């Protein structure tokens, strides 16, 4: 569930062969390259989810082209080959691979390994490459994990969300409490060095104590990375409808703020440091390098229906429906649905809004006069750290992290 907002932006068309403007590849060698592989299948759709996922195992596009769980690895391989053509003689090896969904572990472990193999074949994997997959606690076992590890995966991320049954029920999560923690142990046993647990706070019906219990349970399992997200109730989801009908209460923003502070307090007491607004790790090595590529303007190719890519200031996104995606690839066309070529100003704004979310912050040199004035106000209001500011960086304080979007709105002026 990393990469997939359901609505695609507006943009210009992508050429049939997927070719990029020449300037996108200029200086590419200096930037790391990552791959995101999207698996758009889920056993059931969760009530809060608005990602691009499908519960059917088979979907057809125009001309009857079939996209199914069975041929899915082959389709992604086709797109990885397309990527090779588009990037031409780009010499870069791949630094990170991240398989997300949907539920990647609905595919056979061998399929995930085959997709990784396609990347290795076409681009080569760096020796220290980070290779992550998301995993559903109920759809993996020791053998599955061992197959992944042997196939080259070295990081795994489990969707735990909560340790409380009643919270999981509101979220429509089907796993039993305790299972994600067991998964961590199994992953460790299979040889995974890096393990993440995803948590969600602010679910209707969750109390402060429920949230503390979830954090404690997650910490007890011994991951080296924890992501904690405020529940976003997206329009069009089942949960949004239930809230509108008054069946479940909406969580107040102040409650979200309280839970965030609880998370920061609990996680830092357990030796975790925040390195992005919603991400904590036990060490530098425990950070998710792939996500850092997103936040630092690196290049990545997103393969799969609805996946987003970025190379050298060009962002594009694939058609959403697996059938349409399969049909484009079968016809030898790029599955790109649209793209945008970022202006210098767009890139400046993106850098501020992404880098400000990081522990290292954004350099003040990105700011114009009005933005600088705003940064001084933010400093005075205690939203930016004084020490870092003196060294020329805008770094959010704890209170600032909770108001990051408001700070960004002023700093981009």
Partner 1 sequence: MPAIPSHVPEPSRTDPALIRNFCIIAHIDHGKSTLADRMLQLTGVVEQRQMRAQYLDRMDIERERGITIKSQAVRLPWAPTHDPGNTHILNMIDTPGHVDFTYEVSRSLAACEGTILLVDAAQGIEAQTLANLYLAMENDLTIIPVLNKIDLPAAQPEKFAEELANLVGCEPDDVLKVSAKTGLGVEALLDKAVEQIPAPVGVADAPARAMIFDSVYDSYRGVVTYVRVVDGQLNKRERIRMMSTNATHELLEIGVSSPEMLPADGLGVGEVGYLITGVKDVRQSKVGDTITSLHKGAEDPLGGYKDPKPMVFSGLYPLDGSDYPDLREALDKLQLNDAALVYEPETSAALGFGFRVGFLGLLHLDVVRERLEREFGLDLIATAPNVVYRVIMEDGEEITVTNPSEFPEGKIAEVYEPVVRATILAPTEFIGAIMELCQTRRGTLLGMDYLSEDRVEIRYTLPLAEIVFDFFDQLKSKTRGYASLDYEPTGEQSSSLVKVDILLHGDKVDAFSAITHKDQAYAYGVRLVAKLKELIPRQNFEVPVQAAVGSRVIARETIRAIRKDVLAKCYGGDISRKRKLLEKQKEGKKRMKMVGSVEVPQEAFIAVLSSDDSAGASKGKK
Alpha helices in 298-396 (DSSP H): 322-330, 344-355, 369-380, 386-390
Element (H, E) at 401: helix 398-402
Closer residue to partner 1 (CB): 287 or 357: 357
Closer residue to partner 1 (CB): 167 or 408: 408
Closer residue to partner 1 (CB): 190 or 281: 281
Of the ranges 12-20, 81-89, 212-220, 309-317, which one interacts with partner 1 (CB under 8 A)? 309-317
Q: Is 30 in the site for partner 1 (CB under 8 A)?
A: no
Q: Is 350 in the site for partner 1 (CB under 8 A)?
A: yes
Alpha helices in 108-235 (DSSP H): 109-122, 142-150, 165-170, 179-190, 208-221
Of the ranges 1-9, 73-81, 107-115, 120-128, which one interacts with partner 1 (CB under 8 A)? 1-9
Taking the complex as a whole, how short is the minimal distance between the CB of residue 41 and partner 1, in angstroms? 17
Binding mask 128-167 for partner 1 (x = CB under 8 A): ----------------------------------------
In the DSSP assignment, the letter for residue 6 is S
**Cβ atoms of 112 and 72 closer than 8 Å:** no
Distance CA 287, CA 281 (A): 6
The residues, any chain, with a CB within 8 Å of residue 286's CB and separated by 6 or more, are 194, 224, 225
Binding mask 32-61 for partner 1 (x = CB under 8 A): ----x-------------------------
Element (H, E) at 230: strand 225-230
Q: Is 249 in the site for partner 1 (CB under 8 A)?
A: no
Taking CB under 8 A as the criterion, the residue among 105, 291, 334, 375 binding partner 1 is 291
Q: What Rg, from alpha-carbon coordinates, does the chain have? A: 21
**Cβ atoms of 35 and 289 closer than 8 Å:** no
Taking the complex as a whole, how short is the minimal distance between the CB of residue 122 and partner 1, in angstroms? 20
Q: Is the bond preceding 349 in cis, omega lying within 30 degrees of 0?
A: no
Of the ranges 184-192, 223-231, 324-332, 384-392, which one interacts with partner 1 (CB under 8 A)? 223-231
Element (H, E) at 269: helix 253-269
Closer residue to partner 1 (CB): 101 or 149: 101
CA proximity to 36, closest of 106, 132, 114: 132
Closer residue to partner 1 (CB): 323 or 400: 400
Of the ranges 62-70, 118-126, 144-152, 405-413, which one interacts with partner 1 (CB under 8 A)? 405-413
Q: Is 344 in the site for partner 1 (CB under 8 A)?
A: no
Q: Mapping DSSP to helix (H, G, I), strand (E, B) and coil, where does residue 197 land?
A: strand
- Number of residues in contact with partner 1 under rule CB under 8 A: 50
Closer residue to partner 1 (CB): 261 or 330: 261
**Cβ atoms of 305 and 78 closer than 8 Å:** no
Write out the binding residues for partner 1, residues 369-398 only, by CB under 8 A: 381, 383
Q: Is 126 in the site for partner 1 (CB under 8 A)?
A: no
Write out the binding residues for partner 1, residues 185-214 only, by CB under 8 A: none
174: left (phi over 0), alpha (psi -120 to 50) or beta: alpha
**What are residue 82's DSSP bridge partners?**
none
Distance CA 198, CA 225 (A): 9
**What residues make contact with partner 1 under the rule CB under 8 A?**
2-5, 7, 9, 11, 36, 229-232, 253-254, 256-257, 260, 277-278, 291, 294-295, 300, 302, 306-310, 315, 317, 340, 346, 349-350, 353-354, 357, 381, 383, 399, 401-406, 408-409, 412
């Amino acid at each position: 569930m990393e990469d997939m907002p359901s609505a695609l932006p507006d943009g210009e068309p992508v050429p049939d062969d997927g070719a990029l403007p020449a300037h996108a590849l200029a200086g590419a060698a200096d930037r790391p390259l990552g791959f995101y592989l999207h698996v758009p299948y889920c056993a059931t759709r969760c009530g809060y989810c608005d990602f691009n996922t499908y519960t059917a195992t088979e979907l057809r596009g125009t001309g009857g082209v079939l996209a199914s769980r069975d041929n899915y690895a082959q389709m992604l391989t086709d797109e990885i080959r397309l990527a090779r053509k588009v990037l031409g003689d780009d010499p870069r090896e791949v630094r990170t691979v991240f398989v997300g969904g949907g539920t990647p572990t609905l595919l056979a472990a061998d399929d995930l390994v085959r997709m990784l193999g396609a990347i290795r074949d076409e681009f080569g994997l760096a020796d220290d490459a980070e290779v992550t997959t998301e995993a559903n606690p109920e759809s993996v076992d020791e053998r599955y994990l061992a197959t992944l590890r042997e196939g080259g995966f070295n990081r795994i991320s489990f969707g735990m969300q909560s340790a409380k049954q009643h919270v999981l029920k509101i979220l429509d999560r089907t796993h039993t409490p305790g299972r994600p923690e067991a998964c961590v142990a199994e992953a460790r046993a299979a040889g995974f060095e890096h393990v993440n647990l995803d948590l969600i706070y602010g679910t209707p019906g969750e109390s402060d104590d429920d949230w503390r219990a979830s954090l404690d349970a997650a910490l007890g399992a011994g991951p080296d990375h924890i992501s904690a997200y405020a529940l976003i109730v997206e329009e069009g989801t089942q949960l949004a409808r239930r809230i509108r009908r008054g069946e479940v209460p909406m969580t107040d923003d102040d409650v979200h703020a309280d839970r965030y502070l609880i998370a920061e307090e609990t996680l830092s007491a357990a030796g975790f440091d925040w390195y992005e607004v919603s991400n904590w790790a036990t060490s530098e090595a425990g950070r998710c390098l792939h996500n850092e590529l997103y936040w630092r303007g690196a290049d990545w190719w997103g393969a799969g229906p609805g996946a987003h890519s970025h190379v050298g200031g060009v962002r594009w996104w694939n058609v959403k429906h697996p059938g349409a995606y399969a049909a484009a690839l079968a016809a030898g066309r790029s599955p790109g649905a649209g793209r945008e070529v970022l202006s210098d100003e767009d890139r400046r704004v993106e850098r501020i809004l992404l880098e400000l979310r990081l522990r290292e912050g954004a350099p003040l040199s990105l700011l114009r006069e009005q933005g600088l004035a705003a940064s001084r106000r933010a400093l005075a209001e205690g939203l930016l750290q004084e020490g870092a500011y003196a060294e020329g960086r805008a770094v959010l304080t704890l209170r600032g992290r909770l108001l990051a979007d408001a700070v960004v709105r002023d700093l981009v002026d």
